[in-house]
Amino acid sequence: MRILGIDTSTEYAGVAILEDDKLIAQSIMKFKASHSEKLLPEIVHILETMKIPIETIDYYSVTVGPGSFTGLRVAVSTVKGLSFVTQKKVIPVSTLEVIAWRLPYCKYQISPIIDARKKEIFAALFRWTDNKIERLKEDSVINIETLAEWIKEETVFVGSAVELYKEKLIEKFGRKAIFVDSIYSVASPSIVAYIASKRIDEAIHGKDLKPIYLRKSEAEIKFG
């Protein structure tokens, strides 16, 4: 079974191909150009390089949010198109869950946080139990004060918002706040595909795929 995993939910963008739970190709880049200019060419490039016809992809998987409004729209639109052309289903995955998976079997609870601007963050809470990841808090858009209500024990903070709010996190949580290298903050498309491989029963038709923004965009707020 081949799964194409895609992530453009942050400033990074990535494409990966998983075949029977084995990673056979992956590309992650911090694009200077917009995701809309680079995503589809990168998908074509990775398929051609690996000599994999698009028709042999069994499922598509994509991060549907939360994250960059523009990035999510680009990925969802691209996958909708691919799904329509190839008549293959899609498995949507949470960006925050993908980031939590970057720290497998961590003994502390994990809080992935992404900058949501306006002094807010996209956040969730997870814990590894019996070699499985357990969701403790749903994906939310909150401020640091609300996050403080979630945290009652040592927690690893990971994600793009850590750099922005590290001092506040230390101030709020002291020794309870644990940090890792920034390399773990990038949502990996191979993990997107791997999570999807365990949730085939959640596959949907491309036409039903929708981004999860958690709040209205600036344009929606401005123009109603």
Give me the domains of the chain, ranges plus CATH numbers: 2-95+186-223 (3.30.420.40), 103-185 (3.30.420.40)
What is the pLDDT, as a whole number, of residue 161? 96
pTM of the model: 0.93
Q: Give me the pLDDT at residue 222, please.
A: 46
Helix axes 35-49, 69-86, angle to 10 degrees: 40
What was the pLDDT predicted at 152?
A: 95
- pLDDT for the residue numbered 58: 98
What pLDDT does residue 223 have? 41
Whole-angstrom CA distances from 13 to 118, 151, 223 are: 23, 30, 29
Q: Which of 132, 205, 195 minimizes the C-alpha distance to 3? A: 195
Q: Which of 146, 169, 161, 158 is nearest to 110 (CA)?
A: 158
- What is the pLDDT at residue 33? 59
pLDDT tens digits, residue range 132-156?
Answer: 999 999 999 999 999 999 999 999 9
Residue 99 near residue 124, CB atoms below 8 Å: no
Q: What is the pLDDT of residues 36-87, one digit of tens each?
A: 778 999 999 999 999 999 999 999 999 999 999 999 999 999 999 999 999 9
**Residue 162 contacts residue 179 (beta carbons within 8 Å):** yes
Q: Which pLDDT score is estimated for 34?
A: 67
- What is the per-residue pLDDT for 221? 45
What dihedral angle (degrees, nearest 10) is formed by the CA atoms of 76, 78, 84, 87?
-90
How confident is the model at residue 213, as a pLDDT?
95
C-alpha span between 68 and 31 (Å, rounded): 13
